């Protein structure tokens, strides 16, 4: 591990990863390899999480291919120094921004989107000119093996390299002095990553999670709200960091909305063959323990051998229930009531800032009030999770839900140092800045900085 790390450092210091030609060639190579091996990737995702081909392609393979296409197209523009405004008192001076590669970076991936959440930050790290060491999740073992074959089998090991292993490998990697660490996973492990990185003052990006709320007010289109909330919740069997974690429904429409949710489940989710599975036995057992049989709205199907948990709605839930004590990260959706929006917003302000928030409302005042008064990573009005698919929006958390943001240009910027500099002409040199500093000079400088 240390030898690989040193080789990466040496390659970066050689400057060979910095040219536009090198960066774009590596991005094109990665895109070609993904296209050539997409069937094997889809198969690995099915074996790990029982993802249907549609879901696996749209949220993982196709998602990163689109990101690669956009990055390849935009990279030259991103790399070009940008001229910015210069204040009048810096006469004969021009000011610029440029983006420097950081060095050798570490990407640690999760199990829920084990391909996309490795490759998406990798695209930004390559585009920025870094060398990269990757540690996928060992829980998604088939995808981990696929990444090793894809990366280690086709790229210079001193440039890109995938290390396999359990948490002990991750722990040893975190002892090394990387130039940036990108981690996607739980808040608990994120705290460990942050603590270890602090010993070297290594900057980190932490893409975590939390309990992301959804609010449905009395003006919402209940059928559309139910369709879009359940789509966002049950995608990948609920194992999505920005999935709606729970719903607050206005008490005047609560019962009708519960009925609508059940109708959508019966229509959309009757075929469990194409429904995702929980990643392992530990998480299956954790999730089934959160289901209060006295609060389910219809029959729940669980199957331990295949790790299936069918879409589950819980009603009559309060913050004292076990399901509200942690991020669910599975196909269980608690529904709570509220009667006054301002009181609800005041309550949500006392909770940890979530990665996402969703509001279903056709009342513009309510839309403005919620989005201006609550802090969260990102969100949507009358939709769920789709903000993550817009490469022109930054994606990231705040507080306990994460540090830093990426996607599109924001990925390139994240893995770069934004460096500012000025360029000054020599045909004019004003003596005001040089001593001796007279009262007249002081009077003039006071006017300039007024």
CA distance 153 to 285: 37
Structure letter (DSSP) for residue 61: I
Are the CB atoms for 361 and 341 separated by under 8 Å?
A: no
Are the CB atoms for 96 and 421 separated by under 8 Å?
A: yes
Catalytic site residues? Answer: 207, 241
CB contact set of 71 (below 8 Å; sequence gap of 6+): 27, 123, 124, 127, 408, 411, 412
Query: Could you give phi then psi for residue 140, rounded to 5 degrees?
Result: -95, 70
What's CA 243's distance to the chain center, in Å? 12
DSSP line for 193-230: HHHHHHTTT--EEEE-----EEEE-TTS-HHHHHHHHH
Pseudo-torsion of CA 366, 329, 384, 319, nearest 10°? -10
CA distance 190 to 300: 33
CB contact set of 366 (below 8 Å; sequence gap of 6+): 217, 219, 341, 359
CA distance 179 to 65: 27
What's CA 165's distance to the chain center, in Å? 23
DSSP line for 240-307: -TTS--EEEEETTTHHHHHHHHHHHHHHHS--GGGS---SSHHHHHHHHTT--TTTBSS---EETTTT
Block residue for tokens 């893409």: 207
CA distance 300 to 230: 15
């Amino acid at each position: 591990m240390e030898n690989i790390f040193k080789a990466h450092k040496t390659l970066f210091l050689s400057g060979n990863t910095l040219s536009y030609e090198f960066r774009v060639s590596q991005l094109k190579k990665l895109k070609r390899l993904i296209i050539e091996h997409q069937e094997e990737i889809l198969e690995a995702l099915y074996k790990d999480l029982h993802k249907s081909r549609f879901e696996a392609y749209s949220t993982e393979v196709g998602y990163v291919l689109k990101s690669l296409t956009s990055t390849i197209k935009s990279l030259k523009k991103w790399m070009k120094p940008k001229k910015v405004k210069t204040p009048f008192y810096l006469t004969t001076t021009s000011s610029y921004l440029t983006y420097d590669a950081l060095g050798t970076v570490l990407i640690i991936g999760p199990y829920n989107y084990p391909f996309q959440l490795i490759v998406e930050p990798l695209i930004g790290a390559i585009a920025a000119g870094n060398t990269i060491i990757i540690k996928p999740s060992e829980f998604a073992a088939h995808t981990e093996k696929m990444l090793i074959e894809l990366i280690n089998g086709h790229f210079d090991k001193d440039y890109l390299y995938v290390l396999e292993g359990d948490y002990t490998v991750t722990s040893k990697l975190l002892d090394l002095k990387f130039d940036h660490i990108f981690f996607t996973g739980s808040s608990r492990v994120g705290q460990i990553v942050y603590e270890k990185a602090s010993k070297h003052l290594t900057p980190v990006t932490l893409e975590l999670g939390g309990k992301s709320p959804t609010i449905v007010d009395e003006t919402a289109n209940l059928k559309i709200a139910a369709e879009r909330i359940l789509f966002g919740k049950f995608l990948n069997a609920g194992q999505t960091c920005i999935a709606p974690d729970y719903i607050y429904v206005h008490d005047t429409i609560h019962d009708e909305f519960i009925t609508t949710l059940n109708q959508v489940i019966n229509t959309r989710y009757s075929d469990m063959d194409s429904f995702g599975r929980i990643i392992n036995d530990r998480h299956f057992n954790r999730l089934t323990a959160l289901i209060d049989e006295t609060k389910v709205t219809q029959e729940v199907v669980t199957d331990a051998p295949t790790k299936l948990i069918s879409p589950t709605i819980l009603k009559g839930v309060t913050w004292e229930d076990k399901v509200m004590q942690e991020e669910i990260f599975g196909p269980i959706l608690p529904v709570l009531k509220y009667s006054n929006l301002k009181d609800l917003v005041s309550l949500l302000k006392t909770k940890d800032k979530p990665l996402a928030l969703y509001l279903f409302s056709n009342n513009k005042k309510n839309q403005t009030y919620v989005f201006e008064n609550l802090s969260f990573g990102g969100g949507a009005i009358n939709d769920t999770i789709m903000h993550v698919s817009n490469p022109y929006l930054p994606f990231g958390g705040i507080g306990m839900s994460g540090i830093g943001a990426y996607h599109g240009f924001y990925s390139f910027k994240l893995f770069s140092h934004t460096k500012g500099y000025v360029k000054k002409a020599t045909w004019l040199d004003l003596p005001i800045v040089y001593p001796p500093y007279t009262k007249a000079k002081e009077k003039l400088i006071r006017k300039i900085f007024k």
